[in-house]
Amino acid sequence: MAKRHCILMGPPGAGKGTQAAMIASAYDFEHISTGDVLRREVSKCSDLGKRAKTFMNRGDLVPSSLVIEMIASRIDDGTGKKGFLYDGFPRNREQAEVLEEMLQKRNETIDMVLYLDVPEEVLFSRIETRIKLAQTTKSEPRADDCEEILEARLEVFKRDTQPLVIFFKNNNKLYTIDGDQKPEVVFEDIKKMMNGRV
Ligand code: AMP
């Protein structure tokens, strides 16, 4: 049976990781977070991790070729699940086009794109909270969780990813959700969008 393919998009700090985990479990999707895979590779000091680290630590996108390879092997490996939920991928037009091509070969397509809309000032206050939490719990914050790098990540989002949001909107695939609400309320809104569509 054809697999479903859903993309979760949103600016850095929009809450994609939290929602993606809930969606994947509720809809029996394989959750693919390119950011999580890359962070694991960095902590293992693998070749991929070493190549990605410099880009990640300055808030830039890593070269698309590295990410596309990761995605291709995850899709090909296949799972018994109903579909895939992409979190943090695609980040630009090039990645989206390659994904569409990969799916076309399988007679599948991107079914829907969920966009978490969160105002910029909220993103900054969430990152501050994350940093404070890491300080009080004495845990290691994400290397890119600081105000300067958030600014860089936001710029990259506006430059590379926002045009992709508009592209999906023009293709009638985009579903926008107000991400400035409690996580459980955001999830309820997501379910309303997804039910009957995937
Ligand atoms: P995230 O956890 O999705 O915010 O990703 C953290 C960092 O990983 C980003 O700032 C990028 O440096 C890198 N990254 C994650 N996904 C991608 C992608 N699809 N393309 C390029 N770089 C990515």
Q: What is the pLDDT of residues 39-69, one digit of tens each?
A: 999 999 999 999 999 999 999 999 999 999 9
Catalytic hit among 74, 93, 142, 169: 142
The CATH architecture annotation of domain 4-189 reads 3-Layer(aba) Sandwich (3.40)
Judge contact between 114 and 165, C-beta under 8 A.
no
What pLDDT band is residue 137 in, cutting at 50, 70 and 90?
confident
- Calpha distance 198→193 (Å, rounded): 9
**Is there a catalytic annotation at residue 153?**
yes
- Signed CA dihedral, 174, 177, 179, 184: sign only: negative
Question: Which ligand 1 atom sits nearest the alpha carbon of residue 56?
Answer: 12
Whole-number pLDDT of residue 141:
77
Q: What is the pLDDT of residue 16?
A: 96
| In contact, 91 and 164? CB cutoff 8 Å | yes
Q: Which residues are 83's β-sheet partners? A: 4, 29
Residue 88 pLDDT more than 90?
A: yes
Return the ligand 1 atom nearest residue 17 CA. 2
CA–centroid distance, 88 to ligand 1, in Å, is 6
pLDDT at residue 81 greater than cutoff 90: yes
Which percentage of the chain shows pLDDT scores above 90? 83
Interatomic CA distance for residues 162 and 182, integer angstroms: 24
pLDDT tens per residue across span 91-112: 999 999 999 999 999 999 999 9
51 flagged as catalytic = no
Q: Where are the domains of the chain?
A: 4-189
Residue 36 has pLDDT above 80, yes or no: yes
pLDDT recorded at residue 77: 78
The answer on pLDDT for 78 being more than 80 is no
Which pLDDT value is given to residue 169?
A: 98
Structure confidence by residue, pLDDT tens digits, 138-164:
888 778 888 889 999 999 999 999 999
pLDDT recorded at residue 40: 95
Q: What is the largest CA-CA distance in the chain?
A: 50
Pocket of ligand 1 (CB under 6 A): 12, 34-35, 38, 55-56, 59-62, 67, 88-89, 91, 95, 144, 153
Closest ligand 1 atom to Cα of 63: 21
Alpha helices in the chain (DSSP H): 16-27, 34-44, 47-57, 64-77, 93-105, 120-136, 147-156, 162-170, 183-194
Nearest CA to ligand 1 atom 11: 61
Atom 8, ligand 1: residue with shortest CA distance = 35
